[in-house]
A and B are shown apart, each in its own frame.
Chain A
Amino acid sequence: MTKPLGSFPGGLVLDGQKKRSTHVSIRKTPLSKTLILPLQQHIGEASTPIVKVGDTVLKGQKIARAEGHVSVYLHAPSSGVITAIDDQAIPHPSGLSALCITIKTDSEDRWIDLQETPDFTRLSEHDIRHKIREAGIVGLGGAGFPSFIKLNPGVHHHVETLIINGVECEPYITCDDMIMRERADGILDGIEIMRYALRVQNCVIVIEDNKPEAISAMELALKRRQSQFQNTSIVIIPTRYPTGSEKQLIQVVTGKQVPSHGLPIDIGIVCHNVGTSYAIGRAIIHGEPLISRIVTVTGTDVKHAGNFETLLGTPMHELLSFCETQRETDEPFILGGPMMGYNLSGDHLPITKTANCILVGVDNAAPKREPLPCIRCGDCATACPVSLLPQQLYWYSRSKDLEKTREYNLFDCIECGCCSYVCPSEIPLVHYFRFAKTETMTQELETEKADTARLRHENRLERHEAEKKEKEERQRQRKLALAATKAAKEKAEAEKANASESSTDNQET
């Protein structure tokens, strides 16, 4: 056990509310009759379907392939028949639809042949990354970034430390806590593989001090396999929100700051979530692709709160009815935690790779009120973990002065919600920042598109000009040629006339 080295500014100490969902062990959600699988459950390009409607698929069979570099494969979570490949509502703050594959399960849950590799050192680092990509593994902490990319430091970077994130700082969520308590060995398997793929010795597993059971479970597992994990240690850090955020965690553990617009790899650090680590272990050693995840279902309106190993694509209402919620139909609930999650209105939406928590009913929820004017108290700036000036950003976002928001480093905002939480005027600050961010990105996209259109139009005009000139040139040439032949003809005729004249002359003489 080592001590944390640093800290970050701001942050909040929140009431964890985690006990509600940790008193029972992880349970399996019953198999759903239909599974809806969005083709984009990760950051990057959506996967491309490789099955047709009517195809029979087995559990763990690939149903969509990665498209482009930043993308992963998608698998059938259970055996059954593909009934549709069409647009369906997905869990997204917009409430919009996207392409999904729907599977009607046959309740046999028949696995495809799995390729086990108990001794992963037979594989090269490249093979491991490839397998992780083929297993569809993405960051399960919530962001959903393809994990194989983070395991590829490239030739220009040297990785010094692998950080395993078991912090889970957001209130209510306990899926990482439970996986550490119950599947510590599986997490260590994943860590071993990642250390091998990254060629890194040092590894720290970071856990907040409000999870004593998880800490002792991990310590026990580590002790049992001490010979393999000599340079691995557990760091216990004080509970503070948002320590679970990658950059803040690195700051706490190492005292180093990830540069703005930079990546942890720039300072020699790679960070993975405990759930991801477990999934990597299952994928490489047991050959199981990512077809399920652990979802916390909790909140004041949930009768049997807890953690549920749920197949991807399971409609949320099945999970909610399994836990017996007192939720009224159409009552909105939160996907994610109370700080960073977003409201969903429909419960027919599927569980995706990034769905870590379903929260129905929050303790002492204040009634939503109209925001009052900003009084410039500065509490938001004190709470901000990335040292931004939320109130300045608020003014500029509000007046849509996007250039200024950028100057004030809007894109460094991690949307943790600390500023909105402390605001005495209850201004939805993060909402303003998200608005300004998407607005800026759309504007950039539009400018880019306009630039291409301008270029294409100019090229077209140029081409037309060139064609016109060519045509004129051809016409001129033809005219010249015509004139030349005409002249030649005339000359020949004149010569002929001359010749005949001279011959008559000769005759005359």
Chain B
Amino acid sequence: MLTAILAITIMALIFGLLLGYASIRFKVEGDPIADQIDKLLPQTQCGQCSFPGCRPYSEAIANGEADINRCPPGGESTIQALADLLEVEAKPLDDECGVEKPKTLAVIVEDRCIGCTLCIQACPVDAILGAAKQMHTVIADECTGCELCVPPCPVDCIDMVETKLNPNTWRWPDPAHVNLTLEDQS
């Protein structure tokens, strides 16, 4: 009886030490789950999820403080990817945050720009170029289409333009889907 208690106590001690050592030795920096979630988010940094950027939102999801259906730019595919990662049920996009829209790009109407720099301050990815009292312009390649520059503009000179498909970025349609539409027509 005594030996058994003794043996179990010693074993518990050894394993405890081992686990303690492992947790220090193999400590993972940062939050791997939040990182993985962040990788799936579209990085528009638009704040439509009510968090100030994609990183804070991913941390909130990791901590169970936010739902996975709050990202309109990512839309259905992002929700599906998050659901797969976190092994939860996918759900429709929260209308509170907005609706899934086609990809857009900010374009400054340069005739109307007064050079107030307000949009430059609002842009989360530094995609607007310009200086005080100088005309501003959007670096099209860097723009994420977050629309954050639109409300601050005092002269309303920023338009959100739908990105045009070109032959190089065009995708072959899903054949399964094409077949379905054929059936519909018949």
Q: Which residues of B contact A398 (CB under 8 A)?
A: 176
Give Cα A92–Cα B167 distance, bound, in whole angstroms. 7
Task: Give the distance in Å from the alpha carbon of A130 to the alpha carbon of B94 in the complex.
Answer: 58
Tell me the bound Cα distance from A40 to B182 in angstroms. 33
Q: Which of A93, A370, A445, A456 contacts B125 (CB 8 A)?
A: A456
Q: Does A3 make an interface contact (CB < 8 A)?
A: no
Expressed in whole angstroms, the Cα–Cα distance for A451 and B40 within the complex equals 10
Bound Cα distance A94, B125 (Å): 32
Closest 4 CB pairs of A and B: A453-B43, A94-B170, A450-B43, A438-B171
Whether B175 pairs with A428 at a CB distance below 8 angstroms is yes
In whole angstroms, what is the CA distance A428 to B174 when docked? 11
Given contacts A96-B167, A370-B183, contact A453 B44 (CB under 8 A): yes
Inter-subunit contact B167/A94 (CB<8 Å): yes
Contact B169 A457 (CB under 8 A): no
Which of A51-59, A244-252, A429-437 faces chain B?
A: A429-437
Q: Which of A93, A96, A431, A457 sits near B175, CB closer than 8 Å?
A: A431
Central interface residue in A438, A439, A449, A453, by most chain B CB within 10 Å: A453
Mark interface residues in B145-161 (1 if CB within 8 Å of A CB, else 0): 00000000000000000
Task: Tell me how many residue pairs across A and B have CB atoms closer than 8 Å.
Answer: 75
Q: Does B137 contact A (CB under 8 A)?
A: no
Q: Is B115 an interface residue (CB 8 A)?
A: no
- B3 at the A/B interface (Cβ < 8 Å)? no
8 A Cβ contacts from B106-144 to A: 124-127, 142, 144
Taking the nearest CB of chain A, how far is it from the CB of B181, in angstroms? 12
Contact B179 A371 (CB under 8 A): yes
* Max chain B C-beta neighbours (<10 A), residue from A94, A434, A458: A94
In the bound complex, how far is the Cα of B176 from the Cα of A428, in angstroms? 10
How many angstroms from the CA of A454 to the CA of B169 in the assembled complex?
Answer: 22
A442 within 8 A of B: yes
Tell me the bound Cα distance from A437 to B175 in angstroms: 13
**Complex contacts, A456 vs chain B, CB 8 Å:** 125-127, 142
Cα(A379)–Cα(B155), bound, Å: 65
A98 interfacial contact with B, CB 8 Å? yes
Docked Cα-Cα span, A456 to B43, in Å, equals: 10
Kindly state the separation between the CA atoms of A452 and B175 in the bound complex, as whole angstroms: 32
A90 contacts B169, C-beta separation under 8 Å: no
Q: How far is the CB of B48 from chain A (nearest CB, A)?
A: 15
Give the residues in chain B near A371, CB-CB below 8 Å. 179
**Is B20 part of the contact surface with A, judged by Cβ < 8 Å?**
no
- Which residues of B are in contact with A by a Cβ distance under 8 Å? 38, 41-45, 53-55, 124-127, 142, 144, 165-167, 169-176, 178-179, 182-183
B182: chain A residues at CB < 8 Å are: 370
A460 at the interface (CB under 8 A from B): yes
Residues on B with beta carbons closer than 8 Å to the beta carbon of A454:
38, 43, 54-55
**Distance in angstroms between the alpha carbons of A93 and B165 in the assembled complex:** 13
| Interface membership of A503, Cβ < 8 A | no
Task: Give A433 Cβ to nearest chain B Cβ, in Å.
Answer: 9
Q: How far is the CA of A437 from the CA of B170 in the complex (A)?
A: 11
Q: How far is the CA of A432 from the CA of B172 in the complex (A)?
A: 9
- Closest chain B residue to A99, Cβ basis: B166
Q: B144 touching A453 by the CB < 8 A rule?
A: yes
Contact status B172-A459, CB under 8 Å: no
Given contacts A94-B165, A449-B144, A457-B45, 6 further A-B contacts (CB under 8 A): A446-B42, A454-B55, A456-B127, A457-B54, A457-B55, A460-B125
Please name all residues of chain A whose beta carbon is closer than 8 Å to the beta carbon of B142 when the two chains form the complex.
Answer: 452-453, 456
Q: Is A438 a contact partner of B170 (Cβ separation < 8 A)?
A: yes
CA distance A270 to B176 in the complex (A): 39
- How many angstroms between the C-alpha atoms of A439 and B174 in the bound complex? 9
**Distance of A398 Cα from B176 Cα, bound (Å):** 7
Chain A interface size, under 10 / 10 to 19 / 20 to 34 / 35 or more? 20 to 34
State whether B172 touches A457 (Cβ < 8 A): no
Minimal beta-carbon separation of B13 from chain A (angstroms) = 44
Determine whether the beta carbon of A96 is less than 8 Å from that of B170. Answer: yes
B171 / chain A contacts, CB cutoff of 8 Å: 435, 438-439, 442
Mark contacts of A299-318 with chain B using CB atoms, 8 A cut-off: 1 yes-contact digit, 0 otherwise: 00000000000000000000
12 CB contacts below 8 A, A to B, read A40-B167, A92-B167, A92-B170, A434-B172, A435-B174, A442-B169, A450-B41, A451-B43, A452-B142, A453-B43, A454-B55, A456-B127
Q: Which residue of A lies closest to B170 (CB)?
A: A94
Chain B proximity of A46: nearest CB distance (Å): 9
Q: A370-B182, A428-B175 are in contact. Are A457 and B124 (CB under 8 A)?
A: yes
Q: Are A431 and B167 in contact (CB under 8 A)?
A: no
Complex: A434 Cα to B178 Cα, angstroms: 14
Q: Closest residue of chain A to B52, judged by CB?
A: A461
Measured CB to CB, the closest approach of chain B to A428, in angstroms, equals 5
- B127: chain A residues within 8 A (beta carbon): 456
Q: Which residue of B lies closest to A98 (CB)?
A: B167
Inter-chain CA distance A94–B169, complex, in Å, is 10
B42 near A450 with CB under 8 A, answer yes
Are B172 and A90 closer than 8 Å at their CB atoms? Answer: no
* Complex contact A460–B172 (CB within 8 A): no
Chain A 24-66 per-residue mask, 1 if CB under 8 angstroms from chain B, else 0: 0000000000000000100000000000000000000000000
Contacts of B167 in A (CB 8 A): 40, 90, 92, 94, 96, 98
| Set of chain A residues within 8 Å of B125, measured between Cβ atoms | 453, 456-457, 460
Smallest CB separation, A301 vs chain B (Å): 24
Q: Are B172 and A435 in contact (CB under 8 A)?
A: yes
Q: Closest Cβ of chain B: how far from A400's Cβ, in Å?
A: 8
* A residues in contact with B53, CB < 8 Å: 457
Q: Which residue of B lies closest to A450 (CB)?
A: B43
Known: A96-B167, A453-B144. A460 touches B126 (CB 8 A): yes
* CB-defined contacts of B173 to chain A, threshold 8 Å: 435
Closest residue to A439 on the B side, CB-wise?
B171
Shortest Cβ distance from residue A336 to the other chain B in the assembled complex, whole angstroms? 16
Closest chain A CB from B44 CB (angstroms): 7
Q: A90-B167, A94-B165, A435-B172 known; A457 and B179 CB under 8 Å?
A: no
A90 to B38, CA, bound (A): 39
Which residues does chain B contribute within 8 Å of A451, judged by CB atoms?
Answer: 43
CB < 8 Å neighbour of A453 from B45, B174, B176, B179: B45
A370 touches B179 (CB 8 A): yes
Q: Measured between alpha carbons, how far is A436 from B55 in the docked complex, in Å?
A: 30
How far does the alpha carbon of A36 sit from the alpha carbon of B170 in the complex, in Å? 22
Given contacts A92-B167, A445-B169, A453-B142, contact A432 B175 (CB under 8 A): yes
